[in-house]
Amino acid sequence: MTTTEIPAAARTGKPSTPPKRPGKRQREGAAWVFLSPWVLGAAVLTLLPMAVSLYLSFTDYDLFNPPQWVGLRNYTQMFTEDPRYWRSVVATLTYVVIAVPLQLGLALVVALALKSMRRGKGFYRSAFYAPSLLGASMSIALVWRAIFNDGGTVDNLLGTGGWVNKPGWALFTVALLTVWQFGAPMVIFLAGLQQIPTELYEAAAVDGASRWRQFLSITVPMLSPVIFFNLVLQTIQAFQVFTPAFAVSAGKGGPADSTLFYTLYLYDRGFVASHMGYASAMAWTLLLVIGAVTAVLFRTSRSWVFYASEGDR
């Protein structure tokens, strides 16, 4: 039972029903009043800009002059006439496929190590989580660039030249920066691991199951909802990777477009080339693709995510 509650609680944090209920209408009114700042914020700061962006995606808008309606031209240009667009798609997909499994794998390994640790847990938890707090910042990405640039630390130690200036290596270097920020999924894994009933392991140990066997037959299935949750979250984030590539390639997605991630190219179209309509069309395409990928993940999850409550029935 308990396992099912973790991801659900993490997402919504609903309190349980209060014992004495005021009238339904009164409760609803109060709820709306309390929600109003959020609702207002969502409408003005999220929904309205989204609507404007959807409109702009059908226009030619250079930031300085009023938008011109061009129908689907931005979309057709994107798919049929822009080789750089497709390079950005390939770079992004490659990145997602490399970075997400590596990051989740590392997060799980560290979470397992931390769980069975007896002393210094708090220290290591913070130490491993710190990169996630710092990592999103520009400064760390710049430091990363300096480390992997030619004449940088890695070049001096390994003599391999600057990684960020080799088209085959640059993407991997950026992925490495993301993988290093495994703190957030790690903390969630850790919470999930601690919810697995000890009795299961005790029973398995009595039956003579090896640790590896216990991991495969108890940890993975019991943890699968958490794995799924992390997978969806990190995949969505990976599709939107921006800061590390921006800093590492000095905003250009280089060398030779090898780190020209989707959002970077979107930014380039919008703010460097002043084609806001085209950039909006790219943004909406990205939204649809992320939606589709998430839907596929949810579909496949039926066959591998195990909810204890289902097993009970």
Partner 1 sequence: MPGNRTRKSWPPRRTAKPRPFRTTTATATLLALCAAATALTACSDTGESSSAGGNVVLRYTWWGNPDRAARTQEAVDLFQKKNPDIVVQTSFSGYDAYKQKLATQAAGGDAPDVMQLDYRMIDQYASGGVLLDLGKQQAVRTEEFDRGLLATGVVDGKQYAVPQARGTETVVYDTKAWESSGVEKPRKGWTWSDWADAMRALAERTGKPGATDPGQSEDAFEVWLRGQGKALYTKDRELGFTADDLTRWWTFTDKLRREGAVAPAEQTTQLDGTVENTPLGRGKSVSDFNWDAPSSGYVALVPTGVTLAPMPSGEDGTPGQYFKPSMFMGVAADSGHPEESAKLIDFMLNDREAAKILGATRGIPVNESIRTTLAPELKDFDKTVADYQASVDGTLNAPPQAPPSGDSALQTTFQRDYDQVSYERLSPREAAENYITEAKAELRS
Burial 179-200 (b: 16+ CB within 10 A, else e): bbbbbbbbbbbbebbeebeeee
C-alpha to C-alpha distance for 2 and 231, rounded to whole angstroms: 21
Instruction: Tell me whether residue 115 or residue 289 sits nearer to partner 1 (CB atom).
Output: 115
164 Cβ neighbours under 8 A, 6+ residues apart: 145, 148, 149, 170, 173, 248, 249, 255
Q: Closest CB to partner 1 among 102 and 191?
A: 191
Minimum gap (Å) between residue 219 Cβ and partner 1: 8
Nearer to partner 1, 67 or 101 (CB): 67
CB-based contact 130:211 (threshold 8 Å) = no
> Could you tell me the CA-to-CA distances from 183 to 3, 106, 192, 242, 246 in Å, in that order?
21, 10, 14, 19, 22
115: amino acid identity, one letter:
K
CB of 71 to partner 1, least distance (A): 14
Shortest reach from residue 37's CB to partner 1, in Å: 4
User: 3-state DSSP call for residue 268?
Assistant: helix
Using CB under 8 A as the binding rule, the residues of this chain from 244 to 303 that contact partner 1 are 250-257, 268, 271-276
Distance of CA 81 to the CA centre of its chain: 30
- Coil vs helix vs strand at 249: coil
List the one residue from 129, 201, 242, 307 that touches partner 1 (CB under 8 A).
201
Residue 11 or 20 having the CB closest to partner 1: 20
Q: How far apart are CA 15 and CA 47, in angstroms?
A: 28
Residue type, 205: A
Q: How far apart are CA 84 and CA 256, in angstroms?
A: 10
Is 81 one of the binding residues for partner 1 (CB under 8 A)?
yes
Closest approach of Cβ 158 to partner 1, in Å? 15
Task: Build a one-symbol-per-residue string for 56-75: x at contacts with partner 1 by CB under 8 A, - elsewhere.
Answer: ----x-xxxx----------
Compare residues 129 and 307 and give the one whose CB is closer to partner 1: 129
Query: Residue 131 or residue 161: which is nearer to partner 1 going by CB?
Result: 161
Q: Which of residues 109-168 bind partner 1 (CB under 8 A)?
A: 115-116, 118, 149-151, 161-162, 165-167
Written as six digits, the tokens of 222 are 């019991």
Q: Which is nearer to partner 1, 3 or 165 (CB)?
A: 165
Stretch that binds partner 1, among 49-57, 77-85, 103-111, 132-140 (CB under 8 A): 77-85
Q: Could you give the string, one character per residue 8-47, with x where binding to partner 1 holds by CB under 8 A and - elsewhere?
A: -------xx-xxx-x---xx-xx--xx-xx--xx------
Determine the Cα–Cα distance for residues 86 and 260; give it in Å rounded to an integer: 10
68 SS3 class? strand
Q: How far is the CB of 160 from partner 1 (least distance, A)?
A: 12
Per CB under 8 A, residues contacting partner 1 are 15-16, 18-20, 22, 26-27, 29-30, 33-34, 36-37, 40-41, 60, 62-65, 77, 81, 83-84, 115-116, 118, 149-151, 161-162, 165-167, 190-191, 193-196, 198, 201-202, 205, 214, 219, 250-257, 268, 271-276
